[in-house]
Amino acid sequence: MWRCARTIWYSAHSEATGRRIEELFKREWPAVYHLVYRAVRDEAEAQDLTQEVFVRAFRGLDRYQPTGAPFRAYLRAIARNLVRERWRRSAPVSVSLEHVGEPVEPAPLEDQVFSGLIGDELMRVLASLPVDYQRVIQFRLLEGRPTAEVAALMNRSPGAVRVLQYRALALLRDRLREVTMP
């Protein structure tokens, strides 16, 4: 493929070049189309964008500088840039308020996590966690304290508290699955 791209570059005005360009584009069309389709998930738009990729590649062929990379990389770069341009130019989707239902107040995190568990089971699972995990869950979730305050209470950095909370919740989730699974 590199040889084909280089040949096109060096013989830009010959009649044979037109055939080679056509062959190259036909060969690369499916790969470029699939790349664009994965980004837009719409056949018609993917076809339009793929066609535009090849139009831009053809127009810029005189400026194409062979770098040793396959010509397909050049086409993919054009495709990615074109998809980005489309996303930036697309108008935001607006929805009439008549079609939107009443806002729903989300349940508190504690209710989401602990719903369906009896107090004794919950206390047993929490008690089975390491002490630092118990403390971070109590401070952050049950008492609703900010990360900075919990960090000061536990003598840790805020980042360490967030990591500790993540790990504590992951372990709690696993243990709760064990308890609730029949």
CATH code given to domain 2-89:
1.10.1740.10
Please check whether residue 158 is in contact with residue 133, taking contact to mean a CB–CB distance below 8 angstroms: no
pLDDT higher than 90, residue 19: no
Provide mean pLDDT across the span 23-39.
88
Which fold does the domain 109-180 belong to in CATH? Arc Repressor Mutant, subunit A (1.10.10)
Confidence of residue 180 (pLDDT cuts 50, 70, 90): low
How do the domains of the chain map onto residue ranges? 2-89, 109-180
pLDDT in tens, 105-153: 555 555 545 555 456 677 788 888 999 998 998 888 777 888 899 999 9
Q: With 50 as the cut, is the pLDDT of residue 1 above it?
A: no
Residue predicted with more confidence, 81 or 12? 81
Q: In the predicted model, is pLDDT for residue 101 greater than 70?
A: no
d(CA 132, CA 167): 10
Checking if the pLDDT of 3 tops 60, the result is no
Q: Report pTM.
A: 0.44
| Buried/exposed code over 91-119 (b: 16+ C-beta within 10 A; e: otherwise) | eeeeeeeeeeeeeeeeeeeeeebbeeeee
Q: pLDDT confidence of 160, banded at 50, 70, 90?
A: very high
